[in-house]
Amino acid sequence: MFDKVLEEVEQQCRAERIPMLGPNKAKLLASCVEKAKPSIIVECGTAIGYSGLWMLRVLKTLGTGRLITVEIDTNNAHRARDNFEKAGMADLVDSRIGDAAEVLKTIQDPVDFLFLDNNKDGYFACFKAIESRLTDPATIVADNVGRADQMADYLEHVRSNYDSETHWFESWRRRRGGNEGDNQRERRRDGMEISIYRS
C-alpha cells in the first residue's frame, strides 16, 4: 500500500504541478535520515507529503523517530494528512498548519534533523526559530540551494560555521513559456545543502 500511495502522490504532484523533491533528491534525503537515525525530524514545507513519505518510510524501517511537518497552505496540509493516513504512517506524523518560522518557535522537544523546503527566503528565519532546540550534532538538509540569492543569509551562516556540503543535481524541463507541443527543453541545475550543526 505504501508504494502505491507514494506513486500516486508523485503523479499528482506532476499532474498538478505541485512542487516536490523528486526521486533523486528524495533518495539523498532518505539516506541522510538513515544515517542520522533521528528521534525528531522537523520539515518546513510539507506540500502534499511526497518528501514526508520518503522520510517516514525510513523511520518506519528504523523503528524509531517521528516527523513534525509544517505547511502554510491549508488545502495542501489536509491532502498530506490524508496521504500519510492512506500510507499507514499517520501515527508517526505531527502535521501542523502555519508559517514555519512561527510554528517552529512552539516546538519544545530536542530536534536532531531539520529539512528546509519552504519559502526560500525563510530558511534562515526557520533555522533561527529552532536553533535553541537543535541537538549537538543535528543534521540540516536544505533544498533548492541553486537559488542562492534567495537564501544568502542561511547559506553564508551554515557554510561558515558548520561542516556543510552541496550536492548538485541536473534535470531537464520544458522551456519556460513553452507549450505542450514544444519539445524545447532547458537544463536545470539545483542543489541540496547538507550541514551538520554543532552548538
Binding site for ligand SAM (CB under 6 A): 19-21, 44-45, 47, 50-51, 70-73, 76, 99-100, 117-119, 122
Closest CB to ligand SAM among residues 34, 73: 73
Closest CB to ligand SAM among residues 52, 65: 52
Phi, then psi, of 178 in degrees rounded to 5: -75, 160
Q: Strand, helix or coil at 122?
A: helix
Minimum CB separation of residue 133 from ligand SAM in Å reads: 17
Closest CB to ligand SAM among residues 8, 63: 8
Please tell me the distance from the alpha carbon of residue 44 to that of residue 104, in angstroms, as a whole number: 9
What secondary structure letter does DSSP report for 49?
Answer: S
Closest CB to ligand SAM among residues 39, 76: 76
Minimum CB separation of residue 161 from ligand SAM in Å reads: 24
Minimum CB separation of residue 17 from ligand SAM in Å reads: 11
Contact between residue 91 and residue 102 where contact means Cβ atoms under 8 Å apart? no
Q: Strand, helix or coil at 19?
A: coil
182: left (phi over 0), alpha (psi -120 to 50) or beta: beta
Minimum CB separation of residue 190 from ligand SAM in Å reads: 11
